[in-house]
Structure 1
Amino acid sequence: MNILVTGANGQLGSEIRDLADNFDNLNLIFKDLPDLDICNFLELEKFVDENKINSIINCAAYTAVDKAEEDSAIAQKVNSEGVLNLVKALKKTDGKLIHISTDYVFNGECFVPYKETDPVSPIGVYGDTKREGELSVIDSDIDGIVIRTSWLYSSYGNNFVKTMLRLGKDRDELGVIFDQVGTPTYAKDLALTCLRVLSNSKGNKISLKGKLYHFSNEGVASWYDFAKAIMQIGNVNCNVKPIETKDYPTPAKRPHFSVLNKSKVKNDFGIEIPYWKDSLEECLLKLKNK
């Protein structure tokens, strides 16, 4: 199975690369800009054809939530048009697609974990464009699924964990939002799930066509809880104080509640999902040993 991993230098793509040796039955081909641009259909189609690609894990995305409010055209090109290009390129090969989406397709006004069947209502450009990308997969004829995730972090790239560690070492005190609740997701855990979906016999036996899944680590936390855990586990002596969203205004609105129900992905693929603090410990240990 020849699998193209787009956005290969990002958090999720990098974690998939680290796990590649554990999946000998998968021939993983890692590509990112400038080597391959999913927004250039002719270039993408040629690459898929020449390399006999029969599956794609799409990790490519425009994820700058605040900048998307100004750069809406770029966000739409990557998050929507680029995904449609992937769908069109795979039609010829009858291949599989795993497309990664976000909790930002919800408005955050719910108070129980979101199921895949819950109505969506994006509250910003980022969420709007990611929803358009979802529909490109869900409404297509290819064997493709969408996996929504939340609060992604890794030992790679720029993310909340690295920012907190850096600021915590430079400052005695930090204010972090406590009235936005969700679940941190270690990109390694999501990467492992993507590879298992494509490789295990159960994943290959069921049709992926048009299916939607939620994946995050287990448990619930606010950004404040997340920051406190980072400082404690990372042995950083910084006082973290809770603040409200109104005290930290941003160009893009954030959903106040982003907890995802993972029952469907666990039942369909027989996976166990780690608790968020356990995965955070693993990530921080990896960062320490880098």
Structure 2
Amino acid sequence: MKKIISLIACLVIFTSCSDDSSSENNPLSGSITATIDGQNWRSDIAIGAVQSANFNGLNGSVLQILGTASNGTTLAVNIPLQNLATGTYTFSGFDAEGNLSYNTMDDSFSSDETGGSFTLTISSYNSTNGTISGTFSGTLVGFDSPTQMAVTNGSFNNITIISQQLYSNGNISLKLNNGTVFNMDADSSDNLFLMIQQVDEANKIVIYGNNANVGSNFGVYSIMIPKNATVGSHTIDGNNYDAGFNNNSNIDYTTTGGSINITSHNGNTIVGTFNFTATGNSQTMTISQGNFSITHN
């Protein structure tokens, strides 16, 4: 489960909380620092999330502590939530229950690859007000190559914890550029599947359509809507309504326009249509004929 969670985009966490950056109770007031491969690293934004997953036969909860820096790199700690308390935890090697990962535009490094290791000390954990602090270190191994990277002097302080849910139901369909319409739903056997990420504290729902089949339509397509989305057409503004595209290339696509039309919101079931464009390195991806129907928790 942690491998799926660690790959999930941070659209909900960072866009939903940045709106309140001027608030005295700013949930992003915590910080993460570390020495990564001999270089000092510091987060611009940091937050924690309890992620509960019920997806594709996976059930359970983990705590993810996540930071992003101004250069776009991210550092993430994933640890099982069960019996979480102050103390020191060590995780080693492939498929360990907890992991430390570092992601750049070019490669991803993780402690749960062969030869990797990760030690975490939780110095304070306040489940009442939802904050956590501690230290960490580890040896990370590259995903694309067996290159090792040392992480030392890691520290996270006063990280606010929110709750996230991951689940799947309903369907999402769309067309990329001049291709044909394809559908993604809760069945992942065809490598076309849908995943829903919900953060109640932020009133956000992100619907991810995943096309894992190698080809022109390969990628992750996402739309973000408020949990209390209202019927009508809404311009994609990067705030209440947003969308994104990522095909795991070295191109960082930015959404440049589009809209999400909520056609019905009855009970917990939301139905709508969408279209948007995403541009990167002078390439424009056009997502059209988008349709979705999901039931939120």
Give your verdict on TM over 0.5. Answer: no
TM-score (norm 2): 0.26
TM-score normalised over the length of structure 1: 0.27
Structure having greater relative contact order (Cα 8 Å, sep ≥ 6) = 1
| Structure number having the greater strand percentage | 2
